[in-house]
Amino acid sequence: MESMQPAPGSPWRRSLAGYLVAAAGVLLATWVRVSFVNWINPLWLLFYPAVLAAALAGGLGPGLVATALSGLVTVFWILPAEHQTGTLDSRQEISLALSAAVGVILSVVADGFRRSRRAEAALRRSQAQLALFVRHAPASIAMFDGGMRYLAVSDRFLTDYRLAGREVLGRSHYEIFPEIPERWREIHRRCLAGAVERCEADPFPRADGRTDWIRWEIRPWLDEAGRIGGLLLFSEVITGLREAERQAARAERLEAVGRLVRGMSHEVNNPLAGVIANLGFARDGLAAAPPPARRAWEAAGAPPVAGLEEALADAAEAADRVKGIMRDLAGFLPHPGAASTRTDLAVAARKALRLAHHELVPCAEVRTDLDGSGEVGMPEDDLVQVLAALLVNAGQATGDRPNVVTVSARPLGDAALAVEVADTGTGMDEATLGRLFEPFFTTRQVGRGKGLGLPRCRTLAEGAGGELSVRSEAGRGTTARLVLPLAPPAG
């Protein structure tokens, strides 16, 4: 059987220690009184230290026992030995009663002091354990006091919010994150009043211009008196997850477009080729008709030839538009072997600038910085098409102030090259930016854009092993960033 011995530091051992201190203290005080200082009055002054020591060591019980033992020793040993009498006079009885009362008071006070010290020590241990738990928790956790100063944070919190190496304990949450919006501060105030709030996906615009997406829950914590002492913040940075979800949704849409193209290409392109050919034949025939034939045609009550020519021109333009849509849709189909092609970026950029010249010159100043360019692994036609589309978009972003379009390139290590097309035009809000790469989404007027340019550009970039991203701020301009792998060394 297991031993039933109490654990070290248990209440039973503490009480036993207190009773032993009571007995030893009273015996020591008696010995000192009898042997050395029998002149001290009142007599109980020697016993008070024993009462205090017993109460501090074991609590109220040992203190009262020390008081009782002191009284018994005084009545039955010290006084009879000093006064040679077995009875107490009234003065001695009153002194003994008062001394016993003082002993009880000292025991109560010492026990209260002992309990408060133990409660403080327990609170410190509890706080240390909580801080240790929070620090090593596999989640982003922060604990605040009522003034939103950090009491404890997890290592994951420091990592997720890029605070590793910074001292945050004792500092204000708003000092660490001055960009916290007012709506979040209002949430903190509500939670300090007792509310519990949460959000599955909340944008957090950061001071450096990027936006993190946060999943969070905030709830108050209570102190030992049941009052709200501060807040606990449980959060998770889900920016990567949200971007992955958007990429997955985009991939599904592109796959749907791809299926549409594969299913429609023959059914649309073949008849469309016949329509375009016949429209051309009809227009050529009308153009070749001599004036007498035209007059005879109109004299017979037929529609005017000029109206027919205009109608045929409109039909031919519409057919060309359908042909262009099908060509753009074909850009979503796989482009095998793209990454193995070598293209000089500077040459492709100059060709793209010539193609976009008509959109740029009337409304924008163009600047180039292509000193950091090199050869990339993307077909030249595709790269020119992507850069031209980005340049046209930048040129058309002109607002009520001068627009400066800048094309720049710089290496990213030894394996990739970044090309940026930036403008100082109207920019976009967050909602528009979030839909920018959706097929058929466009911000242009009806008839000026099909909403396929940027999605196709991203498809071409990813087909070459690169990526295309856009950042923008309403009223400040837009920057499109194309990252492409560098072509391997020749040979």
Most confident among 92-96, 148-152, 162-166, 305-309 (mean pLDDT): 148-152
Range of the structural domain that residue 145 is part of: 137-237
CB 478 within 8 A of CB 421: no
Cα distance between residue 89 and residue 95, in whole Å: 10
Cα distance between residue 90 and residue 30, in whole Å: 23
Asked whether residue 220 is assigned to any structural domain, the reply reads yes
Give the residue from 305, 330, 355 where a domain finishes: 330
CB 359 within 8 A of CB 393: no
Q: Residue 78, SS3?
A: helix
Cα distance between residue 447 and residue 192, in whole Å: 54
Q: Are residues 351 and 287 in the same domain?
A: no
> Which residue's entry shows tokens 């036609």?
381
Asked whether residue 438 is assigned to any structural domain, the reply reads yes
Question: What confidence tier does 254 reach under pLDDT thresholds 50, 70, 90?
Answer: low
Give the residue from 283, 314, 330 where a domain finishes: 330
Asked whether residue 309 is assigned to any structural domain, the reply reads yes
Q: Determine phi and psi for 137, rounding to 5 degrees.
A: -65, 140
The fraction of the chain above a pLDDT of 70, given in percent, is 77
Q: Are residues 176 and 197 in the same domain?
A: yes
Q: Are residues 213 and 117 in the same domain?
A: no
Asked whether residue 491 is assigned to any structural domain, the reply reads no
The dihedral built from the CA positions of residue 416, 417, 421 and 422, taken in this order, carries a sign that is positive
Asked whether residue 72 is assigned to any structural domain, the reply reads yes
Q: Are residues 43 and 75 in the same domain?
A: yes
Alpha helices (runs of H) in 137-238, residue ranges in sequence order: 155-160, 173-176, 182-192
User: Which pLDDT does position 385 carry in this prediction?
Assistant: 84
CATH code where residue 266 lies? 1.10.287
Q: Determine phi and psi for 221, rounding to 5 degrees.
A: -115, 150
Q: Are residues 68 and 162 in the same domain?
A: no
How many residues are recorded in the chain? 491
How many Cα atoms within 13 Å fall on the side-chain side of residue 331?
24
Lowest mean pLDDT among 113-117, 144-148, 170-174, 175-179: 113-117
Asked whether residue 219 is assigned to any structural domain, the reply reads yes
Cα distance between residue 442 and residue 436, in whole Å: 8
Q: Are residues 471 and 358 in the same domain?
A: yes
Most confident among 183-192, 364-373, 448-457, 466-475 (mean pLDDT): 183-192
Q: Determine phi and psi for 467, rounding to 5 degrees.
A: -155, 155
Q: Are residues 367 and 430 in the same domain?
A: yes
Compute the mean pLDDT over every residue in the chain, rounded to the nearest whole number: 78
Most confident among 48-62, 113-127, 241-255, 442-456 (mean pLDDT): 48-62
The dihedral built from the CA positions of residue 212, 216, 219 and 224, taken in this order, carries a sign that is negative
Which helix (H) or strand (E) segment is 36 a member of? none
DSSP assignment of 344-383: EHHHHHHHHHHHTHHHHTTTEEEEEE-TT--EESS-HHHH
Q: Are residues 452 and 431 in the same domain?
A: yes
Amino acid at 17: A
CATH code where residue 215 lies? 3.30.450.20
Which helix (H) or strand (E) segment is 47 a member of? none
Lowest mean pLDDT among 3-12, 73-82, 108-117: 3-12
User: Which pLDDT does position 160 carry in this prediction?
Assistant: 87
Q: Are residues 115 and 174 in the same domain?
A: no
Judged against a pLDDT cut of 80, whether residue 252 lies above it is answered with no
- 69, 90, 89: which is closest to 18 by C-alpha? 69
User: Between 125 and 205, where is the model more confident?
Assistant: 205
Cα distance between residue 277 and residue 283, in whole Å: 10
The dihedral built from the CA positions of residue 325, 330, 333 and 334, taken in this order, carries a sign that is negative
Q: Are residues 345 and 363 in the same domain?
A: yes
Judged against a pLDDT cut of 80, whether residue 93 lies above it is answered with no
Cα distance between residue 51 and residue 101, in whole Å: 12
Which helix (H) or strand (E) segment is 321 a member of? helix 305-330
Judged against a pLDDT cut of 80, whether residue 479 lies above it is answered with yes
Q: Are residues 342 and 410 in the same domain?
A: yes
Asked whether residue 54 is assigned to any structural domain, the reply reads yes
Strands, E assignment, 10-124: none
Give the residue from 108, 132, 156 where a domain finishes: 132
Cα distance between residue 117 and residue 124, in whole Å: 11
DSSP assignment of 211-240: EEEEEEEEEEEE-TTS-EEEEEEEEEE-HH
Count structural domains, the chain: 4
Q: ∠ CA 97-102-106 to the nearest 5 degrees?
A: 150
User: Which pLDDT does position 144 carry in this prediction?
Assistant: 93
Amino acid at 428: M
Q: Are residues 346 and 459 in the same domain?
A: yes
Asked whether residue 5 is assigned to any structural domain, the reply reads no
Region 128-151: mean pLDDT is 79
